[in-house]
Amino acid sequence: MKILMFGWEFPPHMSGGLGTACFGLTKALAGLGHEVSFVIPKMLGESGSAHVRLISASGIPVRKKSMETIKIFKGLDIRLINSTLKPYLGARSYDNGMKKKSSKQPGYESGRSETDASQVFEISPYYGPNLIAEVIRYAQVAGSISQDSSFDVIHAHDWMTVLAGLYAKEKSGKPLVVHIHSLEFDRCGEHIDENIYYVERFGMAAADHVVTVSQYTKKAIVHRYGIPADKITVVHNAVSRTEAGALYHVEKNPERKIVLFLGRITFQKGPEYFVEAAAKVLEKIPDVTFVMAGSGDMMPRMIERVAELGIGKNFHFTGFLQGTEVEQMFTMSDLYIMPSVSEPFGISPLEAMIYDVPVIISRQSGVAEILHHALKVDFWDVSEIANKIIAILQYPNLVAEIVEKSREELHSVRWETAAEKIVEVYHRVVH
């Protein structure tokens, strides 16, 4: 089967777990004999992947005919305003954004004037205040790509590519599968961006089928978006050693344990609960190093809170890590914590387990559905998080048992299994 897939990131053009999931899934689909053409906003260097045909949406001529004339978009109302507001924006970030508002942003100019028969867009792949505009440009390019490609089914990942998938569906007449990895309510709680919510709801309603990464997210889609349960298939994410790259052999210091938080430092990931639990642990075990790896709008607040608690000498902020830096960080760590407030899935715990690192995960996560031997906590229960951290650090026999059980569980968490379920969905929608 030939698949036209739309995504916002793909290794090495990526910034998070969505790219990792897209890589693992497409590699497994290719291994099953299917052909995948994967469209991203813009290539930032070489492709780096042989199992997919990677297509950059930037630089592709688009006919002047706008999306408003395409009937599939008649039911969608998006109001664009010239604003610096965006998800996860704090007061400090807003002030900085206002200062930069008058400066020229790279990648937002069309290649030709309005009078030309076609336009060429340079689409920015970054998540920022102009993301909605980039999503719409990306969707316009999708129509041109769909006309020049041969495929059986369209697969769009998350809200950023929903409009592209719908445009390609309208142009080609091929069925569309929308794959939800994260919802706006996961990212922002109740303070959602209405534009993004509209896109998510409209896209799932118009798609031929919806795939999501957990029962946790399926329930949210049914409850908050009104999508029928029988239109949604749950396909859990996975992990493989080939994604993690070479294993590093680092001698850990038994006298100085390292506890790791790795992810976006945003509301969704619960970094404040990690910091508060760290302070409680250090009251009992003073020789522990807590590492917060990642970046995000809450990072300044977390640095300030660490200073207020007086635990700065035991706390290290690495900034954003990628590639071998992530691998080395896992290898050095004695424990990984994912205290997410709302996590549709969460691939990072699986990646940590590859390196025999025990994990503590939020019960409010999709990955908790498939990990039966990981320690689980409610994200808000800082005392419970601290107690479980202390238990892991003080009882090596407990660690050995968790690691052994984790290795067994990883054998059944395979991208090949996920790909087989996705193919079943394809066959269901292709007539």
- Whole-angstrom CA distances from 285 to 256, 276, 290, 305, 391 are 10, 14, 12, 20, 11
Indicate if 394 and 258 belong to the same structural domain: yes
419 and 327 share one domain: no
Give residue 122's pLDDT: 61
What is the pTM assigned to this prediction?
0.80
Give the tens place of pLDDT for each residue, 199-244.
999 999 999 999 999 999 999 999 999 999 999 999 999 987 544 4
Q: How confident is the model over 51-84, as pLDDT tens digits?
A: 888 888 877 766 655 455 455 555 555 544 333 3
pLDDT in tens, 12-30: 766 567 888 999 999 999 9
Looking at the structure, tell me whether residues 134 and 9 fall in a common domain: yes
Q: Which domain holds residue 31?
A: 2-238+415-429
User: pLDDT tens digits, residue range 311-328?
Assistant: 999 999 999 888 788 888
Residue 202 main-chain phi, psi, to 5 deg: -65, -45
Most confident of the ranges 113-117, 344-348, 380-384: 380-384
Q: Residue 57 has what pLDDT?
A: 81
d(CA 351, CA 264): 16
Q: Which tokens is 231 given? A: 């239109």
Q: What is the pLDDT of residue 245?
A: 42
Same domain, 63 and 86: yes
> How high is the pLDDT of residue 60?
72
Residues 270 and 218 in one domain: no
Residues 181 and 36 in one domain: yes
DSSP string, 360-404: EEESSBSGGGT-SSSEEE-TT-HHHHHHHHHHHHH-HHHHHHHHH
307-313: list long-range contacts, CB under 8 Å, 24+ apart. 309/275, 309/279, 311/278, 311/279, 311/282
* 184 and 63 belong to one structural domain: yes
Q: How far is CA 140 from CA 2, 15, 159, 201, 202, in A?
A: 22, 24, 15, 20, 17
The CATH number linked to 176 is 3.40.50.2000
Gap between the Cα atoms of 317 and 8, Å rounded: 27
Residue 109 has pLDDT above 50, yes or no: no
Task: Compute the C-alpha angle 307/288/323, nearest 5°.
Answer: 90
Least confident segment among 26-40, 138-152, 212-226, 328-342: 138-152
Question: Taking a C-beta distance cutoff of 8 angstroms, is the pair 366, 347 a contact?
Answer: no
Same-domain check for residues 68 and 217: yes
Are 134 and 232 within one domain? yes
Same domain, 228 and 258: no
Q: What confidence tier does 262 reach under pLDDT thresholds 50, 70, 90?
A: very high
What residues pair up with 293 in beta bridges, in sequence order? 262, 319
pLDDT of residue 382: 97
| Average pLDDT over every residue of 404-427 | 93
CA atoms within 13 A on the CB side of 73: 20
**Top mean-pLDDT range of 294-298, 301-305, 340-344:** 301-305
Query: So what's the pLDDT on residue 205?
Result: 96
Number of domains in the chain: 2
Q: What is the pLDDT of residues 157-186, one digit of tens each?
A: 999 899 999 999 998 999 999 999 999 998
User: Residue 307 CA to chain centroid, in angstroms?
Assistant: 30
> Rg of the chain over CA atoms, in angstroms?
22
17 in the same domain as 83: yes
Looking at the fold, whether 179 and 64 belong to one and the same domain comes out as yes
Q: Which two tokens stand for residue 428?
A: 């269901």
